Structure 1
Amino acid sequence: MSTQVTPAVQLGTVGVEEVAGAPDAARDVPRRRPRSSRGTRAGLNLAALVVFACSVFPVYWMLNMSFTRGESIISRTPSFLPLDFTFRNFQTAWTREAAPGQTDFPHGLLSSTLVTVGVLVVTLLFAFLASIAVSRIRFRGRRSFIVAVLIVQMIPGEAMMFTIYGLIDDWRLMNTLVGLGVVYVAAVIPFTIWTLRGFVAGVPVELEEAAMIDGCTRSQAFWRVTFPLLAPGLVATGIFAFIQSWNEFTMALLLMRGYNLTLPPWLLSFQSATEATNWGAVMAASTLISVPVVIFFLLVQGRMSGGLVAGAVKG
């Protein structure tokens, strides 16, 4: 009997080992993707590369022209590299004397910075409070308020130019940074409320309740638990408000003049009816205008990525 049991046990042992080793062997075998999926992936990568190139080329061309001499810019043969390298365009853009009573780059930079920073602070403050009220508090007219915010965002600002001009003139805020800031806040805050509402609604209220059970007050639970999770939303909407205020052209041209002009309408001072446009200086000035936006994004992008995981781990 023992001689009959031993082979069976050995056979069973070998079978178990083979079965146990089968998944490891299967994992070692590389999986081949179908040719159709590889072709689709290559096509999508190529399409993304084309879109990226089309998006980056205007920026590259602006930088290229800003370092190119004027005679090379107006040449019929374009140069894709600034072979005739020069900083004279930037010097002209920075020190250019505008027409009498008009602003220059330093004054325009100061006006744009003051307006943009003021709009950024006021917009984030009011939009943050409004988004919390809409997401956390159930009150009469809540849905109507949300729909009204969305409808206001759909109306283009150019359709209300005459109304805005009349209001600002009646309030005696024409050609003032405060008046321009009020218009910018009114234009940016609807989208900011709508965006922040989604971020606030995405944070479960149970997190605050759990913190309150652990001994926190309602305000402590909000600032210690909920607010860090809302940092990406604040940064994203802050970037939008900053870019919208910094690059806005139409309302600034309508309401401002003289030394209070912001940088986008200041670019019009390079055009003259009696002189040829200095396109090298225009490109250099455009590059200088873009630098603060890039710096602002580099400063806040770390907080946006860091806020995505804030509070997600214990400790």
Structure 2
Amino acid sequence: MTATTAAPAEARRPAPTRRRRGRVSSVLLGVAAIAVFLVSVFPVYWMVNTSFQPNGQVRGTELHFWPDNATVENYVDVIFDESRAPFIPALLNSLQITVLTVVIALVFAFLAAIAVSRFRFRTRGMFIVAILIVQMIPAEAMIISVFRLMDGWHLLNSIMGLTAVYVATVLPFTIWTLRGFVNGVPAELEEAAMIDGLSRTQAFWRITFPLLAPGLVATGVFAFIQAWNEFVFALVINPRPEAMTLPVWLRTFLDPNGGINWAQLMAGSTLVAIPVVVFFLFVQHRMTGGLVSGAVKG
């Protein structure tokens, strides 16, 4: 009897130990997450902090972790200084090119992803392999051919020329990403809706499309960031001051003689980063919400 009662007691002893180990693991993971967050955020904070300091203070030997002599003159000079390429035209060029790129790429990528995932045709496998191969080609390897092509079409230093290049660059990634989202939506949902009396088109728009909306938003965010931050093609195809985008505009702050105004450069970098942050904050709740709302509504 004593041995029988002692066995369950011994079996219950490891439970507090497992709970303590679980708490320790949670604490360690929390500390690691905070450390990763701080390491990731600190460069952004340092950029914003530097943008509010006078350039003489930035070039000094003393570190200032807080803009104790905060000033907005850097931003005023960056936006209104006429000695370099203007900021407002570069901002408008980037906005036009990026928005056109995202819209056009999503439309074509969505249609291609539907075709690859929902239909079976002879060259389907070759098409998927071609998408992977195109993504492996570095952009620098195509600069000369793309430049000659745009020059032959008289599209250098134009919105449509750079947009066409960006669409061709972003399209393989968007097709591959959207294909994964389309494959994640069972075709049986459409078939069940068609049994209930809906046509194929109605079943697609009422059932499948609401489920794919978060995927479209997520893919659009990545396409937006890729087009907004692209530098090499923009430098080669749109080098003129009136046609340059913001990444190329930032290059005008670099002085080969070493006299770089780091405070203004950080202010310009902050201005370039703001639209991406605003765009992400605007759509981030749509990226995670409504993943199965279409099935419920259908």
TM-score (norm: length of structure 1): 0.85
Matched, 1:54 2:36: no
Q: CA deviation at 1:47?
A: 2.3
In the alignment, the residues of structure 1 paired with residue 72 and residue 198 of structure 2 have an alpha-carbon distance, to the nearest angstrom, of 59
1:96-139 CA distance string (max 9 Å, x none): 1144xxx3100000100110011011000000000000000000
Equivalent pair of 2:189/2:295 in contact (CA under 8 Å): no
In the TM superposition, residue 275 of structure 1 has moved relative to its aligned partner by: 7.4
Q: CA deviation at 1:272?
A: 2.9
1:45 Cα deviation after fit: 2.4
Match of 1:284 in 2: 267
For residue 267 of structure 1, what is the aligned residue in structure 2?
Answer: 250
Instruction: After TM superposition, list the pairs within 5 Å mapping 1:18-97 onto structure 2.
Output: 33-97=18-82
Identify the residue that residue 298 of structure 1 maps to in structure 2. Answer: 281
Question: What does the per-residue CA deviation read over 1:178-233, in whole Å, with 9 as the maximum and x for residues that have no partner?
Answer: 11111111111101000100100110111111111111111110001100000111
Of the candidates 193, 198, 201, which is equivalent to residue 183 of structure 2? 201
State the secondary structure of the residue aligned to 1:75: coil
One-letter amino acid of the counterpart of residue 55, structure 2: G
Change (3 A) 1:214 1:160: same
Q: How does 1:1-315 map to 2 (within 5 A)?
A: 33-99=18-84, 103-258=85-240, 259-273=242-256, 276-313=259-296
- The alpha-carbon deviation at position 269 of structure 1 amounts to 1.4
Q: Does structure 2 retain, via aligned residues, the 8 Å contact 1:249–1:265?
A: yes
CA distance in 2, matches of 1:175, 1:80: 41
Q: Secondary structure at the match of 2:289?
A: helix
Distance 1:294 1:170 in 2: 37
After superposition, the CA RMSD in angstroms is 1.7
Contact 1:208 1:218 (C-alpha < 8 Å) held by counterparts: yes
1:214-264 Cα distance to aligned partner (Å, 9 max, x none): 111111100011000001110010001100111111110111122100000
> Aligned to 1:175, what secondary structure does the other structure show?
coil
The answer (yes or no) to whether the contact 2:174–2:219 under 8 Å persists in 1 is: yes
Checking the alignment, whether the CA contact within 8 Å between 1:230 and 1:307 is kept in structure 2 is no
Contact 1:98–1:269 under 8 Å retained in 2? no
Deviations 1:20-78 (A, max 9, x none): xxxxxxxxxx9663444433333332222222111111100011001111121111111
| Cα distance between partner residues in 1 of 2:20 and 2:87 | 57
**3-state SS of the aligned residue for 2:66?**
coil
Instruction: State which drifts further: 39-48 or 263-272.
Output: 39-48
Q: Which residue of 1 aligns with 2:10?
A: none
- The alignment covers a number of residue pairs equal to 283
**Partners of 1:307 and 1:261 in 2: CA distance:** 38
Give the stretch that moved more between structures: 129-138 or 43-52.
43-52
Q: Distance in 2 between matches of 1:229 and 1:190?
A: 22
Amino acid at match of 2:261: N
- Deviation by residue 1:148-180 (Cα, 9 ceiling, x = unmatched): 101111111012111211211122211111111
Q: Secondary structure at the match of 1:165?
A: helix
Alpha-carbon separation, structure 2, partners of 1:166 and 1:314:
51
- Contact preservation (8 Å) 2:113, 2:175: yes
| Higher mean C-alpha deviation, range 298-307 or range 146-155 | 298-307
How far, CA to CA, are the matches of 2:192 and 2:83 in structure 1?
62
2:79 corresponds to which letter in structure 1?
Answer: W
Gap regions ≥5 residues in structure 2: 1-14
Say which SS state the counterpart of residue 260 (structure 1) adopts.
coil
Distance between the aligned counterparts of 2:218 and 2:22, measured in 1? 34
